[in-house]
Amino acid sequence: MENVDNLIAEIDGFKAESAEDLESYRLRFISKKGVVGALFQGLKDVPNDQKKEVGQKFNAVKQKAEEKFQELITELKQRTTSEAKAPVDLTLPPTGIPLGSIHPLRAARNRIIEIFARMGFNVADGPEVEDDWHNFTALNFPENHPAREMQDTFFVKKNPDVVLRTHTSNVQIRLMENQKPPIRSIMPGRVYRNEAISARAHCLFHQVEGIFIDENVSFRDLKQTLYHFAKEMFGQDTQIRFRPSYFPFTEPSAEMDISCGLNSPGECELCGGAKNICKGTGWVEILGCGMVDPNVLENCGIDSEKYTGFAFGMGIERIAQLKYNVSDIRLYFENDVRFLNQFRTE
């Protein structure tokens, strides 16, 4: 009986400040497993002659607990609605709208376009879902030739093949088919390759390719154009070197490296001394290039006796990695604001 009086006092004094308080009240006093429930459990041990009196008392506690519960509910409801209706202080200064920043890939792409635009290159665009002719055959990839395996391809449809373009070279073909030289264009865009995703490779990435077709275009023009690009992009001290390479659509073909230690090769300025990008060689590859193969010109109806040209292609992720010191290509696609915030310019 003493317990019962204590319980009544506890119920009377209970205050619910929040929904959590209300719930703990419910568990303690209303739920069958709570303290009031336990009282009724104990009723069977009460001697018969006292059962009536004790039972009435217990019922009174139960009723009190339920009435109080309803009271707490209405009180809490009133409080939350009056809080929501609190007057807005219009004199407070605004909190400001959080501003986004330019994505590093977009920034690198803009810079590449800017540099080539100053040399007279315009920007061309083309489809990402492409037929076999524009992605492969016109680019001098013979059918069943192992060179097709250089690029792991996503097929949308087989026979006739429709693919997700593996490079933006398809736009070169479309330009040459539809325009007369001189042609001087770059083509930035998304490309797709069926590769395992890792810190260095992704199944979706971005390229900027370029092409220049005119009379008397030579390897010298190619070198000078790309040399100028590298210096503008990575600084005036950047050195370049060409290594012989192979692409079906260019002959001769080369890959271009830039110096890692910008002032003296071997010092790894790009790697920050860590040699993790240049692997200690002092040079990092940034693009593929070459003189457009006469077969490709003829495939597009351009007289290869009269015209020559050069082409090049680079990965924007790679350029941005070197420019901004990004260690893992996957960071570009995760949209983690902790990564993106570092590219704020304001």
Interaction site with ligand PHE (CB under 6 A): 167, 169, 209, 247, 250, 288-290, 311-313
Determine contact, residues 256/241, Cβ cutoff 8 Å. yes
Whole-number Å distance between alpha carbons of 144 and 142: 6
- Min dist CB 101 to ligand PHE, Å, is 29
Nearest residue to ligand PHE by CB is 313
Query: Which DSSP category does 261 fall into?
Result: S
Is residue 46 helix, strand or coil? coil
Regarding beta strands 183-192 and 122-123, do their DSSP bridges make them parallel or antiparallel, or are they unpaired? parallel
Among 59, 33, 55, 32, residue whose Cα is nearest residue 44: 55
Output 189 or 313, the one with its CB closest to ligand PHE: 313
Taking a C-beta distance cutoff of 8 angstroms, is the pair 291, 310 a contact? Answer: yes
Half-sphere exposure of 108 (CA within 13 A, CB side): 24
Residue with Cβ nearer ligand PHE (61 or 311) = 311
Taking the CA atoms of 265, 108, 182 and 211 in sequence, report the sign of the dihedral they define.
positive
In the complex with ligand PHE, which residue's Cβ is closer, 14 or 249?
Answer: 249
Closer to ligand PHE by CB, 105 or 268: give it: 105
Q: How far apart are CA 252 and CA 137, in angstroms?
A: 19
Question: Distance between CA atoms of 124 and 121, rounded to whole angstroms?
Answer: 9
Min CB(295)–ligand PHE separation in Å: 14
Q: How far is the CB of 124 from ligand PHE (least distance, A)?
A: 14
- Residue 282 C-beta: closest distance to ligand PHE, Å: 23
CB of 199 to ligand PHE, least distance (A): 19
**Residue 28 or 167 with smaller CB distance to ligand PHE:** 167
Query: Residue 328 Cβ, how far from ligand PHE at the closest point, in Å?
Result: 21
- Bridge partners of 183, per DSSP, are 213
In the complex with ligand PHE, which residue's Cβ is closer, 169 or 185? Answer: 169
282 or 288: CB nearest ligand PHE: 288
Shortest distance in whole angstroms from residue 276 CB to ligand PHE: 23
Neighbours of 244 (CB within 10 A): 9
Query: Which run of H or of E encompasses 226?
Result: helix 219-234
Whether the Cβ atoms of residue 268 and residue 278 lie closer than 8 Å to each other:
yes
Place of tokens 């009724």: 40
